Amino acid sequence: MARQLLTLETAKVSWRDRVALWSDALTTVCGPLRTDALGATLDGAMTFGTIGRLQIGHITVSRHRVGLTPELARADRHPVAKVIIQTAGVSVYEQHGDRVTLTPGDGLVYDVSQPHAITSTETTEHFVVTVPHDLVVGRGVRLDRLSAQRFSARTGVGRLAADLIHSTFGELATLSPACEEDLATSLLSLIFLPLPHEAAHSTDALRHRIESYIRDRIRDPELSIDNIASALRCSKRYLHMAFAASDRSIADHIWMTRLDGCRCDLAQRADQTISEIAFAWGFSSSAHFSRAFRKRFGVTPTAFRRGDRGPPG
């Protein structure tokens, strides 16, 4: 089954209706914006499709200005960030007093919910990806720093991101729905990597979020790296990066936290059996718990409960 795409060509309508048509199409993609043809006839075409919760598209348009006024920002929510890869023409982006010129091979990430304007005095082309705010934050990116975040899409990881966006768009109509989530995760993993360091949270902040999530669900036997990644909307690779400076992996952190909880309850909860305590802390096998406990503390759970606290330290 072919994927449904949003397509628009201003040439199919009267020149009088083109600005309104263009603005309506942009509203569908990222919320109400104001379009000005700068005294000329607006000529443009756009195609957009959806990958997971991302929207990806290509825009060709004649000279114009598009933006979000303070009034529109107050009246309507625009809860997305936009990634632009400029492929033709020159555009000037303005937001919060920052002014950035985009030429072919430049990339830009910005928060659509904040007042902004993009002016192009000639025909421009660019690829676009819109990302919901919660997915942006889930990638460890600070929304309050997404102003004038320009990067090069000519070399390095910026080019890898641009190539993936370009190739994904090229195959958009025929991509299988079964691969959507994996592809969306790959896009998210790449498109924020080129940002300057100050736009990203430190890995310490993400690690604290991971640790907090684990702490709140440590007794759930289904707790795993997979569902942590899903809940925090991060790739597993990104989670592992956050723990890279730690002396333990995420899996080790989960098991050690469970074992510490079991050790405390074994010392204080004489009314519960060893197996009951182990299962209450997320273990699903008494044998596995016993082996893990002995490896960590140097003594079996039974011996610990009798008063043997194991080797010093």
Residue 73 has pLDDT above 80, yes or no: yes
- Do 84 and 158 touch, CB atoms closer than 8 A? no
Worst-scoring range by mean pLDDT, 126-135, 196-205, 279-288?
A: 196-205
The percent of residues above 70 in pLDDT, for the chain, comes to 93
Q: CB atoms < 10 A from the CB of 134, how many?
A: 11
| Cβ count within 10 A of residue 299 | 17
| Residue range 6-199, CATH number | 2.60.120.10
- DSSP for 88-138 reads ES-EEEEETTEEEEE-TTEEEEEETTS-EEEEESS-EEEEEEEEEHHHHHH
Structure tokens belonging to residue 300? 């079996």
pLDDT band at 255 (very low <50, low <70, confident <90, very high): very high
- Who wins on pLDDT, 106 or 312? 106
In this structure, are strands 80-88 and 124-132 parallel, antiparallel, or unpaired? antiparallel
User: Does pTM surpass 0.75?
Assistant: no
For residue 216 the two structure tokens come to 């709140």
The residue with greater pLDDT, 313 or 25, is 25
pLDDT category, 309, cuts 50, 70, 90?
A: low
Q: Where residue 310 falls among pLDDT bands split at 50, 70, 90?
A: low
Please write down the HEC assignment for all residues of 209-263: HHHHHHHHCCCCCCCCHHHHHHHHCCCHHHHHHHCCCCCCCHHHHHHHHHHHHHH
Exposed (0-12), middle (13-18) or buried (19+): which is 198, by Cβ within 10 Å?
Answer: exposed
Angle of helix 250-268 versus helix 286-297 axis, rounded to 10:
90
Strand 98-102's sheet: what is its strand order?
34-36, 64-68, 116-120, 91-95, 98-102
Mean pLDDT of 55-78: 88
Q: What is the pLDDT of residue 281?
A: 95
Output the pLDDT for position 192: 81
Q: What is the CATH number of domain 202-313?
A: 1.10.10.60
Average per-residue pLDDT in the chain? Answer: 87
Residue 178: CB partners within 8 Å, gap ≥ 6? none
Q: Bigger pLDDT: 60 or 176?
A: 60
* pLDDT the model gives residue 197: 52
**Local confidence band at 1 (pLDDT 50, 70, 90 cut-offs):** very low
More confident residue, 31 or 310: 31
The pLDDT of residue 238 is: 76
- Residue 240 scores a pLDDT above 80: yes
β-strands 106-111, 34-36: how paired? unpaired
Domains of the chain, residue spans = 6-199, 202-313
Contacts of 124 (CB under 8 A, 6+ apart): 59, 60, 61, 86, 88, 89, 90, 91
pLDDT tens digits along 163-216: 999 999 999 888 888 788 888 888 888 888 777 654 555 566 677 778 888 988
CA–chain centroid gap for 9, Å, is: 31
Can you tell me the mean pLDDT for 103-114? Answer: 93
| Cβ contacts of 195 within 8 Å, gap of 6 or more | 109, 141, 149, 151
